[in-house]
Amino acid sequence: MGKNAKVDDHKISMEKIVSLCKRRGFVFQSSEIYGGQNGAWDYGPLGIELKNNISRAWWKEMTQMHDNIVGLDASILMHPRTWEASGHVENFTDPLVDCKKCKSRFRADHLEAENLEKKECPDCGGELTDTRKFNLMFKTNIGPTDDNSSVIYLRPETAQGIYVNYKNIVQSSRMKIPFGIAQIGKAFRNEIVTKNFIFRTCEFEQMEMQFFVKPGDDEKWFEQWKKERWAFYEKYGIRMNKLRWHQHGPDELAHYAKDAYDIEYEFPMGFKELEGVHNRTDFDLGRHTEYSGKDLQYIDQENGNQKYIPYIVETSAGLTRNLLAFLCDAYDEEKVGDKGNADDWRTVLRFHPNIAPTMVAVLPLMKKDGLAELAKEIQAELREEFTTSYDQSGAIGKRYRRQDEVGTPFCVTVDYDSKEDDSVTLRFRDSMEQVRIPRKELISRIREEIKNYKRV
Ligand code: ATP
């Protein structure tokens, strides 16, 4: 950024996020050396740390913090009847149109009404085909034959793995209604248009929790889960003015759903769905009862052995879409100098410490005179409890900037005084303040800072 940079140049854009992700090893295009694979992305060293931290935070909130929610890891390949029962074979379609001239593909429901009416391509003005239904499930074959009898699907959502295991879990874990089953895993959708980086991809990860309740209690639990899911984002530092609720109108509501709300985040391209909270009624277990012939009724021993098909309240979030929201929300460019050059600005990712890919960076002021050895000793003390990194190259100011750019909340600097008095400098990412503290207090001080963290 040159001398004449304006404040506007420092606004967030998707291009900046994509470029930072590639430069610093968060997210790479899949198979890039072959020209890239559309709709697929690879998570680099910092990306996988970030993704793991988000999924760990979600898992903690959903399982560790609740007595009545247990986990599951179901397989991606499921019996094909599952997808008939769920309605995906019949209904999991998007309306597709092609341009006969430039061959671009569009989702008809994403086109302007005028283009659709006139059948005119928004890109080149060419003629559009009629709208046809396109099923989003990836199909493949299992076993040595490739005829219709061996067709199998890559799951388009993790939820069905939970429904088909509902009875196993009731029986093995003696779960009593109301209770939930949580799962994190890959899902696949043959999306017609993939754009906006990792927002909409063909391979992605979901974090879903299905909560089984007594019919009649569903509305109460629906409200409760709306509250809890909203609180999750607040707890992990998302700015609340970037979130809003969107209630599904009658034309958006799935035929089985009684009520549905999306939590939307304001991405650089506008407010978009981040997570859905759905009241799915008894549709899912009802359909699996019908298609499998197995009795999936719950016997409510606390209510005189009353039998019923439970209602389900679902919370369904994209893990990879969450990662994009956490990245966009953390991204900031801040003026920190007046030299009239690029050094006046720093890029900083203001992640909540529990989300940040690296918690503490340890930096010796110099490599020589035993400072590197001392810094490594201190890093060894920290790494049992925190994710750490070590950097000894370049001026200390530049090293701080490098850590700011990847969102490391704490830097520990080891200097000549450290050798004498066993103290270190602890530097805070957000305020850039530095405090001098005894080495033996470092771990407890960082712990305390994490506990009391508030985004500025
Ligand atoms: P959309 O309307 O954006 O296609 P959806 O309403 O079909 O999404 P759900 O089926 O409710 O989405 O999936 C739950 C969550 O999974 C979404 O809120 C989103 O975070 C995530 N998700 C869905 N499809 C994708 C995708 N193609 N790429 C990345 N994440 C996705």
* Residue 182, number of CB atoms within 10 A of its CB: 22
Ligand 1 centroid to residue 318 C-alpha, Å: 6
Compute the average pLDDT of residues 301-329: 97
Judge whether 415 and 365 are in contact, CB under 8 Å. Answer: yes
Radius of gyration of the chain (CA): 26
Q: Is 324 in the pocket of ligand 1 (CB under 6 A)?
A: no
- For residue range 70-98, what is the model confidence (pLDDT) as tens digits? 999 999 999 999 999 999 999 999 999 99
Q: pLDDT band at residue 56, thresholds of 50, 70 and 90?
A: very high
Burial 265-288 (b: 16+ CB within 10 A, else e): bbbbeeebebbbbbbbbbbbbbbb
Give the span between the Cα atoms of 414 and 417, in whole angstroms. 8
Across 8-32, average pLDDT: 93
SS3 30: coil
Per-residue pLDDT at 144: 86
Question: Which pLDDT band holds residue 6 (cuts at 50, 70, 90)?
Answer: low
The two tokens of residue 134 are 């396109």
CA of 109 to the centre of ligand 1 (A): 16
pLDDT exceeds 70 at position 290: yes
The mean pLDDT value for 400-428 works out to 97
The DSSP code for 367 is: S
208: closest CA among 58, 88, 43?
58
Query: In this predicted structure, what is the pLDDT of residue 8?
Result: 65
Candidate of 200, 201, 243, 279 to mutate for ligand 1, largest count of ligand atoms within 8 Å of Cβ: 200
pLDDT of residue 5: 52
* Cβ(155) – ligand 1 distance below 6 Å: no
pLDDT grade, residue 7 (50/70/90)?
low
Report pLDDT digits (tens) over 358-367: 999 999 999 9
- The response to whether residue 316 sits with its C-beta less than 6 Å from ligand 1 reads yes
Encode pLDDT of 301-312 as tens digits.
Answer: 999 999 999 999
- What's residue 11's pLDDT? 87
Residue 189 Cα to ligand 1 middle (Å): 9
What pLDDT was estimated at residue 3? 46
pLDDT score for 145:
82
Average pLDDT of the segment spanning 205-215:
98
Residue 435: which pLDDT band, with cuts at 50, 70 and 90? Answer: very high
pLDDT exceeds cutoff 90 at 432: yes
Residue of 232, 321, 324, 328 best suited for mutating to test ligand 1, as the one with most atoms within 8 Å of CB:
321
pLDDT confidence of residue 26 = 98
Model pLDDT, residue 332: 96
Of all protein residues, the one whose alpha carbon is nearest to atom 19 of ligand 1 is 318
Q: Tell me the average pLDDT of the chain.
A: 95
Tell whether the model's pLDDT for residue 1 goes beyond 50. no
For residue 112, the model assigns a pLDDT of 92
Across the range 349-370, mean pLDDT stands at 96
Pick the residue whose CA is nearest to atom 21 on ligand 1: 318
Q: Is the CB of 273 under 6 A from ligand 1?
A: yes
Q: What is the pLDDT averaged over residues 169-179?
A: 94
Q: CB of 88 closer than 6 A to ligand 1?
A: no
CB of 321 within 6 A of ligand 1: the answer is yes
What average pLDDT does range 234-240 have in this prediction? 96
Q: What does each C-alpha distance from 234 to 35, 223, 227, 454 come to in angstroms?
A: 39, 17, 11, 11
